[in-house]
Amino acid sequence: MTGILPDLKPGEDKRRDTIVREARRFFMSQGYAATRIEPIARAACVSTATLYAYFPSKDHLFGAVIEEAAQDFSEQMECVRMTEGSAREILTSFALAYARFMGDPFVRSVFRLVMAERPRFREVAMGFFNKGRSDFGHPLILALGALVERGELRVAKASWAAGQLMGMVEHPVFFMPLVTGDEVQSERTPEQIASEAVETFLARYGT
């Protein structure tokens, strides 16, 4: 339960969806501590009492925002499925989609917010990160295993190899902007980053 009303999934209650959407905007722009409930209620065109009927505290509302952001990410990554083709084609498809996703400024905003509030919301934050690890890493690990069986890769531990490929993509499109407040951006395009990461990966693990 996130409030005194039964738990609802996104799309089942437009008022709840609007509250969460507006809360996300406030939390992203102002941070948790500076965000107040009353402006969220006004922006969502509901009374404060109605907002509290859905979410009895700011903590509950923040938790709902992060949980739904994680679900949004999961749905976006549904498009990242391994295509048929050679190892290079399959891995490039994943790497490019991952680069575009991790390079999205909104994705970085959510990660900054979760990291900033991790001490207060440890369970929510860990759930967010664990879901991300599963949604992003698991399909790639399965694909690497299939490519090993086909004789196109030599990989002793698929989870390590997956982390290496993802890390080559993450560093320029996600971590550099994340730690510099978006002041430093990669000069390479997502296509270049994905291609170079895959070529490096195949040089190490290709047959």
Measured CA to CA, the distance from residue 130 to residue 185 in angstroms comes to 26
Average pLDDT over residues 165-181: 88
Residue 54: pLDDT band by 50, 70, 90 thresholds? very high
Residue 153: DSSP 8-state: B
* Other Cβ atoms within 10 Å of 25 Cβ, number: 14
Q: Which of 39-53, 95-109, 113-127, 193-207 has the lowest mean pLDDT?
A: 113-127
Work out the angle at residue 177's Cα, subtended by the Cα atoms of residues 103 and 96, and round it to the nearest 5 degrees: 25
Residue 50: pLDDT band by 50, 70, 90 thresholds? very high
Residue 67's H or E segment, with its range, is helix 58-76
pLDDT at residue number 4? 38
| Helix, strand, coil percent values for the chain (each to nearest 5) | 75, 0, 25
pLDDT at residue number 81? 57
pLDDT at residue number 152? 96
What value does the mean pLDDT of the chain take? 85
Q: Which of 13-17, 20-24, 72-76, 146-150 has the lowest mean pLDDT?
A: 72-76
pLDDT at 127 over 90: no
Average pLDDT over residues 54-59: 93
pLDDT at residue number 5? 39
Residue 6: pLDDT band by 50, 70, 90 thresholds? very low
